[in-house]
A and B are shown apart, each in its own frame.
Chain A
Amino acid sequence: MKVLVAVKRVVDYNVKIRVKADKTGVETANVKFSMNPFDEIAVEEAVRLKEAGKATEVVVVSMGPAQAQETIRTALAMGADRGIHVQSDAELQPLAVAKLLKAVAEKEGPTLVIVGKQAIDDDCSQTGQMLAALLGWAQGTFASKVDLKDGTVAVTREVDGGLETVDLKLPAIVTTDLRLNEPRYASLPNIMKAKKKPIDATTPEALGVDVAPRLATLKVEEPPKRQGGKKVGSIAELVDKLKNEARVI
């Protein structure tokens, strides 16, 4: 059984982003990038399925510029077997990424596709669901537990009121939430080994996918700044302020 995992290179979650002065986007020059945290969880889950003998191969795919290969290497160092890089310098929106993943999935024939529930840059939370729709497969989003069975997978989902478990017919798509697992750090020997693992390169054109954006970004701005920073000396003073100044209690 093959597992396909999609990973995205994003601005590192520790970076305090800056909006560009001309309002065309966010400053990405000289900024640290890393794998989207939810995608790390996706890679970890796939590798664990392989270690448990439930999966035979873990294939990692990433779309984007040349540097996306670094993100693929990180996944290979975590234990994935090989990579696919869909090279593109264009802006790739979720629908386009889903179409590219569909093309890759049709070639690879995975039984399970695992992706992060959301990328922490555009915060869209769309790609996995869109891929499921395009393939006509079932989806288990925001997963906190994945239990592979014969022909089906039980996915426990983080929903607003608590947890929900659904049974999905395989092949299926799973999108990962935080509590699914704790991703490992790649060890130095595994990082060295990952350098020898194969990464195939392809392009949207070769996959026959039109990736033209459907949404035009007119401008990107900073949100209004909040005026905070006031401190009070005691709880009694706090309660007094909340009651008589802010009038919220």
Chain B
Amino acid sequence: MALLVIAEHANSELKPATLNTVAAASQIGGEIHVLVAGSNARPAADAAAKIAGVAKVLLADAPIYEHRLAEDLAALVVKLAPGYSHVLAPATTSGKNFMPRVAALLDVAQISDISAVVSADTFVRPIYAGNALATVQSKDATKIITVRGTGFAAADATGGSAAVETIEAGATSGLSSFVSQELSKSERPELTSARVIISGGRGMQSGDNFHLLEEIADKLGAAVGASRAAVDAGFVPNDYQVGQTGKIVAPELYIAVGISGAIQHLAGMKDSKVIVAINKDEEAPIFQIADYGVVGDLFKLVPELSAELDKVK
């Protein structure tokens, strides 16, 4: 049977998390279909059709899917599910929102946040903030899966030429309605797909001081993140948060500034290729996992880093 991947997109464009999810589906094996449910989402569907390994794109284009409310999106996926052995979505805030609803309506378990595929019914998923890895086997007829993007190298965004088939939209549930959104505007890359990330913790002392990190970010083409402590202290918004309860990232380079390295933060970034830590406390746990640690006052060291980067660029 075929596999269905639910695309993450912003109607006018496809989000990179879709590519990692397609990659997970390819590892399971079988014909891959992608559902794009949105409003004026033709561009996203066309992009999905170009992903290497995708056999068919289903486009449900209707105003009710503009913001992909869980109630309406789940109803659509449940209608499609009987034709598929597996339904996969990225473990983003969107995937985490509607997928458990799909699972419950189908009376099956959800396998959350898989980081590896063992076989068609067996998967690895991190538990306890990534401090343990559980290998779980599903006994259900339909596998409902959310995929941790950092576990799977992105599928090629080009090379495919799948047909886009328009499917009928469902009726609205009438249970919920979209009111508004406030999206953080940033010229910088998204945290979950950035090649370089620089994050600040409680040691930053204030939100204003994050401009020190932004300066470095702009020099490296990096995204700016934060620890839960910095979010809790109100320095930066929650969507900056890297960790067990925030975003899971694995960039080429992760620079942790004024972050002590609580378990829950490490859970979100310890799979980064190279980790740099800048902290005044040489006993801070972050140094145990850092490839390169620098002990000292960040308010002196970060401007130094900025100046040094100018020299090598």
Contacts and interface: CB of A to CB of B under 8 A. Distances in A.
Interface of A: 11, 13, 16-17, 19, 26, 38, 93-95, 98, 117-118, 120-134, 136-142, 144, 154, 157-169, 172, 177-179, 213-223, 226, 228-232, 234-236, 238-239, 241-243, 246, 248-249
Interface of B: 67, 69-71, 74, 92-94, 96-105, 107-113, 122, 125-140, 173-184, 190, 192, 196, 220, 228, 231-232, 237-239, 241, 244-245, 247, 252-253, 263-264, 270, 273-276, 282, 287-295, 301, 304-305, 308-309, 311-312
Contacts of A168: 175-176
A232 B292 contact: yes
B263 A16 contact: yes
**Which residue among B67, B182, B192 has the maximum number of chain A CB atoms within 10 Å of its CB?**
B182
A162 B239 contact: yes
A223 B127 contact: no
A127 B109 CA distance: 11
SS class, residues of chain B in contact with chain A: mixed
12 contacts: A95-B104, A124-B112, A133-B102, A140-B176, A160-B247, A162-B184, A166-B69, A219-B135, A220-B132, A223-B126, A223-B130, A223-B131
Contacts of A13: 263-264
B109 A95 contact: yes
Contact of B175 (A117, A138, A157): A138
Contact of A241 (B108, B173, B178, B292): B292
A114 to B, nearest CB: 16
Contact of B70 (A127, A129, A215, A222): A129
Given A165-B180, A222-B133, A238-B305, A123 B128 contact: yes
Given A130-B100, A169-B176, A249-B309, 7 more contacts: A17-B128, A133-B101, A159-B94, A222-B132, A222-B133, A228-B289, A235-B308
A167 B174 CA distance: 10
Contact of A226 (B96, B126, B231, B270): B270
B216 to A, nearest CB: 11
A159 B130 CA distance: 22
Contact of B312 (A16, A138, A243): A243
